[in-house]
Structure 1
């Protein structure tokens, strides 16, 4: 009987500890193996700062990140602008608590295979992009789809499938670069930080693909936390999480994003993203 009681107690304690684990995810905007390696180190950092077990939960798509957040499989997420708005609509009370220093004024790069002969233009998206094939990133990516589509419609007063000969969705920014570099698509839209990191690491052949236009700025990525965090992990936990993110200064950790650091954010910062999402039918 004592052995049975001890076994039951152990099982109950293990279940309680598992329930108390604080879990986070990140939209898969780059190669998944790179993200797992990098964000596992972020989990260790947060565990040390917060005094709870922290686990990084990888997901296979932007939609899966939003679903995991909605279902309470994760309590914190590194979302893009659009996916963050979607998640907060589904989980009332959730809060954007921090963004990268670069995210208040984020940009998309339009890139083209140099064989197209499209000349870069600093002022506007070149008119000569019309009739070429084009790839976005993920369907709900802010920098790889939402804002690029907005700028395309603004510039040409046409939907992408009316302007281009063929339109696709690569799934993430790394694939967009690879598809344009190989000539599978003539043009693509990418997150500027992923492009710059790839160029710096020598993962892009800039003789084959180049930036032809840089977009105006807009708010993008952010950390969003579920609104019941204090109830579940203790009073003041939301503030502790935010402070841990703001205090993250290790370059090796910041490279995971990649960002130079984090600054405070609020739901109101993403009003422009919500407005654009509604205007092109990606948000209700």
Structure 2
């Protein structure tokens, strides 16, 4: 074979794997903390942004539940995910090398709202709502940080009782938007949800906020985070995880940020969520 032909063949052989890696799709998901239609709308735009920044195809994969998001991450159906504090801890414990790479600026000091139907007569106070004793209460999803983990921890810390002991009836709505709707309708007297979902409902003049009012806020805690698998550098090239982190932290489009809603994203690390892991272990919510 002539020298030039051999050189061309060598270059082609080394270029093909890089090209194939560049074209492999990066899949990501998110915990379904709101209805699926809104989630798809939010994250399709994020996928387009990431694809442009990373130079690889990026696709959003919706899931039906918080455990399904963790399972998809564990099974490599998605390589990146927007998790809550607890689901992020669960996912990282299941996948070697997985790490939190970004969080919202607000996620360093997140809070949950306790809301109550106006017919209960409960009003906002800085003190835990002891007057809610014996009422009906709904969490959000069973593995939601802001809709279950930290509200349950707050109930136990302030009353010395399990939620089932303090309240007459306890349920799980499935997501924050549903919690708001159910309390607003009177189906449940009291509930706990992500503060950002409630504040967005206020900003949108949603009718639910007329009958479902904030009565208490939990102390702050770390919450949502972007988590990436530990094997992405081997698949998309050295430094790929850092490149994804840079793209997320560099996301400054107001429309993209408002979809979360977040003012900005900042770097995150696994150790930021040590308090969440400890509470989850205390409540026996980790395998």
TM-score by length of 2: 0.91
**Match of 1:35, SS?**
helix
Q: Distance in 2 between matches of 1:38 and 1:231?
A: 29
**Match of 2:260, SS?**
coil
- The counterpart of 1:101, out of the listed 99, 105, 121, is 105
- Who is 1:209 aligned against? 212
Q: Distance in 2 between matches of 1:150 and 1:224?
A: 24
Q: Distance in 2 between matches of 1:257 and 1:233?
A: 27
**Match of 2:208, SS?**
coil
Q: Distance in 2 between matches of 1:253 and 1:119?
A: 35
Say whether 1:43 aligns with 2:47. Answer: yes
Q: Distance in 2 between matches of 1:19 and 1:280?
A: 43
- Who is 1:142 aligned against? 145
Structure 2 CA distance for partners of 1:116 and 1:17, relative to 1, 3 Å: same
Unaligned runs of 5+ in 2: 1-16
Say whether 1:118 aligns with 2:91. Answer: no
Q: Give the deviation of 1:40 after TM superposition.
A: 0.3
Q: Give the deviation of 1:116 after TM superposition.
A: 0.5
Residues 31-110 of structure 1 mapped to structure 2, 5 A cutoff: 31-110=35-114
Aligned length: 269
- Who is 2:278 aligned against? 275
Write the deviation string for residues 162-202 of structure 1: whole angstroms up to 9, x where unpaired. 11111000000000000000000000001001110111011
Q: Distance in 2 between matches of 1:191 and 1:59?
A: 19
Q: Distance in 2 between matches of 1:157 and 1:251?
A: 43
Q: Distance in 2 between matches of 1:93 and 1:235?
A: 14
Q: Distance in 1 between matches of 2:208 and 2:91?
A: 36
Q: Assess if the C-alpha contact under 8 Å between 2:181 and 2:208 holds in 1.
A: no
- Who is 1:7 aligned against? none
Unaligned runs of 5+ in 1: 1-12
Q: Distance in 2 between matches of 1:148 and 1:91?
A: 27
**Match of 2:209, SS?**
coil
TM-score by length of 1: 0.92
- The counterpart of 1:173, out of the listed 172, 176, 192, is 176
Residues 2-21 of structure 1 mapped to structure 2, 5 A cutoff: 20-21=24-25
Write the deviation string for residues 93-144 of structure 1: whole angstroms up to 9, x where unpaired. 100000000000000000000100112212x211101000000000000000
Greater C-alpha radius of gyration: 2
Structure 1 vs Structure 2 CA RMSD: 1.4
Write the deviation string for residues 30-88 of structure 1: whole angstroms up to 9, x where unpaired. 11101101100000000000000000000000000000000000000000000000000
**Match of 1:249, SS?**
coil
Q: Give the deviation of 1:258 after TM superposition.
A: 1.1
- Who is 1:10 aligned against? none
Runs of at least 4 residues off by over 2 Å: 16-19, 204-207
